Chain A
């Protein structure tokens, strides 16, 4: 035995030495914990983010693979499309200047139109054998893939940046936002199969109500990608409109409602808009609620036009929403939502009975992506 150790052992005794060692170890452990707590915590958060980033990478790669496979199967491209798809996935859009907000709506509309025609032209060039409905579906599919690609790039940016700066606060914010980001990513992943196969999605609930109303009636195109039917029910004239299906399309319902109003010189008794809306946690999927206002999502261009024209002619604007979560809105339509559509159909008829009289004209707008829904 080491002579020094045996002296220490003799002086202190075995029990006391053991206690001192235990105290020392505990103290060191506590000191280390106090000094390096932030680093330990950051390492744990970084590990968690790395895991999520790995999952996001798999999701965005899968989305790209599904998009390429679908374009090849449906569009029968003559050239290699992988690099073209990669180029489309990296497309971006620069928002117009908002220092002077006057007129921004029209700038936004112009940008959306340009973007839409650019994407459609690119998809058409990649898939020459695809029909217009299939082109719309593939465009939606590429939008999903592009969304996942963007999510992955943003999360990766903050992860690398936070790590590089050793910034606890950047890492902490990212870690706290991760559940929301992953929920969004999972919703987009769920939408892949629907867009690849042309199945109706939850967001199409409003369009489905309109489709059921206008089935069997004569339809005409009233605005870009918007069809309308004009018929009578219970002595009321109904003008029903929706985006033109069955390809993935939301159309321009704002323009549609505006034209119908102008064409009828504002002599409209009621406008009813039906759309899918995000439910609050705890609410039942497919539940139908009634309210006032323009039930339409998106960037706001269509909403603006509808609000303007209804204000101009002082026409009451009623809304019906079919509740669902963000995942359900872009995944294949759930049975509960399909049942909610039938309930909404009943509510529309009830609303018309209660709020209008015989001889009145009513506009009914089914809002939403009409993928997998004809007319």
Chain B
């Protein structure tokens, strides 16, 4: 499936980004002022620090909201494999699934003994995930 972006007006998007950037700049400068005042042992640094932290939290929330608007759907692609086995000598082969394959279908001849090959399984393998505690 293709990745798609939900339609948002470009003007709104740019305005939002500019507002977020502005908020970050103001918050960082406020944090810096607060830090400078604190180092100089002057009063009033708390308000600057609180404003800075609050601004950064607000910016992070805004970015998160914007992220939710961008919809990316990962393509669901399965690597499906077909297992064929020789009915005579038991020779086993695994190859990629082809349209028309189905389980218990006779498919070609065995490269070893020329016996009929049978499709015995069609499956896909997932990446192994680490088992949880339970």
Chain A positions within 8 Å of B, measured between CB atoms, are 15, 18, 22, 47-48, 50-51, 54-55, 58-59, 62, 186, 189-190, 192-194, 197-200, 208, 211-212, 215, 245-246, 282, 331-335, 337-338, 372-375
Contacts and interface: CB of A to CB of B under 8 A. Distances in A.
Nearest to B7: A54
B6 interface: yes
A200 B104 contact: no
Contacts, number: 96
Contacts of A208: 103
A42 to B, nearest CB: 15
B78 interface: yes
Contacts of A337: 123
A15 B122 CA distance: 77
Interface in B53-95: 65, 68-69, 71, 73, 76-78, 80
A47 B43 contact: no
Contacts of B112: none
Nearest to B102: A246
Interface string B18-38: 000000000000000000000
B134 A282 contact: yes
A246 B105 contact: yes
Contacts of A333: 122-124
A245 B71 CA distance: 38
Given A54-B6, A55-B73, A333-B123, A62 B1 contact: yes
Given A193-B76, A335-B123, A15 B43 contact: yes
Contacts of B102: 198, 200, 245-246, 372-374
Contacts of B1: 58-59, 62, 189
Interface string B92-134: 0000010111111100000000000010011111100000101
Nearest to A14: B44
B2 to A, nearest CB: 8
Given A189-B1, A198-B99, A335-B123, A54 B78 contact: no
Main SS class of interface, B: loop
B53 to A, nearest CB: 14
A151 to B, nearest CB: 15
B70 to A, nearest CB: 9
Q: Pick the 10 closest A-B CB pairs, nearest first.
A: A246-B102, A338-B123, A374-B104, A51-B68, A335-B123, A373-B103, A332-B78, A332-B124, A54-B71, A335-B125
A58 B101 contact: no
Contact of B104 (A193, A212, A282): A212
21 contacts: A15-B44, A51-B68, A62-B1, A189-B1, A190-B78, A193-B77, A198-B99, A198-B102, A199-B78, A199-B80, A200-B122, A246-B105, A332-B78, A332-B122, A334-B124, A334-B125, A334-B126, A335-B123, A372-B101, A374-B102, A374-B105
Contacts of A374: 102-105
Contacts of A215: 104, 118
B90 to A, nearest CB: 15
A159 to B, nearest CB: 15
B122 A58 contact: no
B103 A332 contact: no
